[in-house]
Chain A
Amino acid sequence: MALLEVRNARLYYATTKGVVKAVDGISFELYEGETLAVVGESGSGKTTLGKLLTRVWERNVSVADGEIYLEGKEILHITEEEFRREIRWRKIAMVPQASMNALNPVIKIGDQMIEPLLMQGTSRDDALKMAMDALESVGLPRDLVNRYPHQLSGGMKQRVIIAMSIMAHPKVVILDEPTSALDVITQANIMNLLKKLKWEFKLSYIFVTHDLSLASELADSVAIMYAGKLVEIGGAEDIYGNPSHPYTQGLISSVPTLRVDKNLSFIPGEVPSLINPPAGCRFHPRCPFYRDRDYLKGLCDAKEPPMMELGSKAGRKHLVACWLYK
């Protein structure tokens, strides 16, 4: 059984210009000890997906539905009280985007770390011990609990945030661009740490990033997001070795590689608005196959492609939402 199963998840925002369909019917499974990388360009809905899973959402959310099963139990429609007590931090934790800058500079690190645990009724002593254990796991000294964030470098702050996320021994950790403000060497050190924690604590990660190269540092599976939808999902070997959706193909050919020589190409055009996304396949206005193949006219621009299963080398389901494969 999958540890986490997401069925047809949707999250819309109401704005004065219309409804932003930021996550629009997404389904996937996550298995114990495995990492799913969610990759997509800016504004594709990655952070919104993470927020939906942890139920931390903005006030202007107008639709939040679908089903999310954690160890077989539905968790999207339980009460907030139950979610806070049973699920958040204890089962599903999150390293939010840019969160290291959200640490309060004038509150001791220990106090910031234990706050969510205190709210859940853990005693102060127990919580402090959990915090110190977690700091040790991420390679920081235990007595860091008594220091202030402004005394720390960027890499150390990010380690504190990661320590917070694993403090209550969750099963699933959602990592939202966990290294985006860091230098490459610091990023590599954080990636090494995330690998170590994954092996040590059998964590399952949902690793949100816009960087396909970085995704491969952790991903057992990869989900490619485009304009609020998943366009392709499969084992890492299949996505990198046999990218099948035209968007995935375009994205991979735009990624520079240091060690092998290849020609770069780009996807012409821009990502669409999520208020009035294109009909049918949301990628069709930029798709080279749609442009060149007559039989796709009237299909891609009219009907939404369903997820279709392809053969897999990775031994995982390889699914793609594209009319080319019908």
Chain B
Amino acid sequence: MRCYMPVVFDDTPWVRKDDLVVVHRLRTYYTIKPGFFAKPRYVRAVDDISLGIDRGITLAVVGESGSGKTTLGRTLIRLLDPVSGEVYFDGHDITHMKEEELKKIGFRRRVSMVFQDPYSSLNPFHSIHFILEEPLMVQGVSAEEREERVFKALEEVKLTPPEDFINKYPHMLSGGQRQRIAVARAIITNPDFIVADEPVSMLDASIRVEILTILKDIQQRHKMAFMYITHDISTAKYFSDYILIMYAGQFAEYGPFKDVVKNPLHPYAQSLIEAIPDPDPSNRLRERKVAPGEPPNLANPPSGCRFHPRCPYAMDICKRQEPPVIEARPGVFVKCWLYVKK
């Protein structure tokens, strides 16, 4: 627990300035040109997102397909450039840093990403040994130390004995084993910040838990800042401290994980949580009260609150004006007109 008053941004009071990763009013758009002479159009994939993640903390980023989760994650590790807003890493403003400057602060070593698809994220022509030692070679780590760290990483992801795996190629491994290699590769540089983008959504239930356990264990032991991107809140539950729910590229609700999941305030968050079944045979006897419809196209999002066409509580103002983010309960922030005091 912090024993001092955290310094926060005035306009985004849920973001502490001294967290390891700080994102302030970030916007990342894709440009699409329908034709050579046509005016370019923008897909507003991340549109005004602010968050902070400190060492030892896991933030779950949850939302439906196309809500901008991957775009957000990729912008944080500078695989995409934002159009506005700032990203800070360990006190450095990295928003527009050039690759050499990033190198100077050790950024590429200190952040990494685990991708959703264990089939396409590993190069099929490289051996496991090479896949794991490559990030270390880039940094000029000695051969001897590389060897040691490859073995250690394999042990961390429970691929033991490591000798049985280093000479294999990705296609010789099962989906679960491949995803463990992806995790080993992500941790081999001892990063401070990991973005895990749907790391288990392509895996079967029994393997999923094994990977989640490994991730949680590594995150806690190394006190990393961890961003867990998923559309499945129930897997996030097992290690997330905070949750950010995104809708159509925007902020919907943010707060302590348990608090938000138990008592969601944003109408979208309420639907999202109501939609998730627990294994319970009485489910078959009841209907789920969820919002109708599907998320909008982000090249042409609805006016006002982007959720208004699906929202059961939509009022006149929701259609006209974008809602502000309000602290609706201590520590829980919601972007919805229902919580704005008149």
- Is the Cβ of B278 less than 8 Å from the Cβ of A257? yes
Q: Which of B13-21, B287-295, B320-328, B333-341 contacts A (4 or more CB under 8 A)?
A: B287-295
Please tell me which one of the listed residues B212, B231, B292 contacts residue A189 in the complex, with CB atoms under 8 A apart: B292
Which chain B residues (282-326) contact chain A, with CB distance < 8 Å? 283-284, 287-288, 290-292, 294-295
Contact at B290–A35, with CB atoms within 8 Å?
no
Q: Which residue in chain B gives the minimum CB-CB distance to A239?
A: B281
A216-B205 contact, Cβ under 8 Å, with A185-B64, A185-B271, A258-B261: no
| Distance, CA A216 to CA B280, complexed state (A) | 6
> Are B209 and A216 closer than 8 Å at their CB atoms?
no
A41 at the interface (CB under 8 A from B): yes
**Cβ-defined partner of B294 (8 Å) among A154, A235, A265:** A154
When chains A and B are docked, how far (Å) is the Cα of A213 from the Cα of B276?
A: 9
Given the known inter-chain contacts A237-B281, A257-B279, please indicate yes or no for A188 contacting B209, CB distance below 8 A. no
- Tell me whether B233 is interfacial, beta carbon within 8 Å: yes
CB <8 Å contact, B290 and A195: no
Chain A residues with Cβ below 8 Å from B237 are 256, 258
A265 and B209 in contact, given A184-B231, A217-B277 (Cβ under 8 angstroms) = yes
Q: In the complex, are the beta carbons of B288 and A216 less than 8 A apart?
A: no
At the interface with chain B, which of A21-29, A92-100, A246-254? A246-254
Taking the closest CB of chain A, its distance from the CB of B289, in whole angstroms, is: 9
Chain A contacts of B261 at CB under 8 A? 258
Q: Shortest distance in angstroms between B29's beta carbon and chain A's nearest beta carbon? A: 22
Query: Contact check: which of A155, A195, A258, A270 meets B284 at CB < 8 Å?
Result: A195
Residues of A within 8 A of B290 (CB): 185, 188-189, 192
Provide the residues of chain A in CB contact with B273, threshold 8 Å. 258
How long is the Cα–Cα vector from A240 to B234 in the complex, in angstroms?
18
Q: Is the CB of A41 within 8 A of B292?
A: no
Cα distance A254–B279 when bound, in Å? 11
Contact status B272-A240, CB under 8 Å: no
- Number of chain A residues close to chain B: CB under 8 A: 51
Whether A254 contacts B283 in the complex (CB less than 8 A), given A188-B274, A213-B278, comes out as: no
B284 touching A218, Cβ below 8 Å: yes
B279 near A216 with CB under 8 A, answer yes
B302 to chain A minimum Cβ distance, whole angstroms, is: 15
A192's partner among B233, B272, B287 (CB-CB below 8 A) is B287
Complex interface: chain B residues within 8 A of A183 (CB): 64-65, 231, 294-295
- The interface residues of chain A lying within 8 Å CB-to-CB of B287 are 192, 195-196
Name the CB-closest residue of A to B67.
A183
State whether the Cβ of A267 lies closer than 8 Å to any Cβ in chain B: yes
A-B contact pairs, 23 of them (CB 8 A): A41-B205, A42-B204, A183-B294, A185-B64, A185-B272, A185-B294, A188-B288, A188-B290, A191-B277, A192-B288, A212-B205, A213-B234, A213-B276, A213-B277, A216-B281, A217-B284, A240-B279, A257-B278, A258-B233, A258-B237, A259-B278, A264-B213, A270-B174
Chain A to chain B: the 6 pairs with minimum beta-carbon distance, closest first? A236-B281, A188-B275, A266-B209, A256-B234, A183-B64, A41-B204
List B residues at the A interface (Cβ < 8 Å).
64-65, 174, 176, 204-210, 212-213, 231-235, 237-238, 261, 271-281, 283-284, 287-288, 290-292, 294-295
> What would 8 more interface pairs be, CB under 8 Å, given A211-B205, A217-B277, A270-B176?
A183-B294, A184-B275, A185-B271, A191-B277, A216-B278, A241-B281, A256-B238, A268-B210
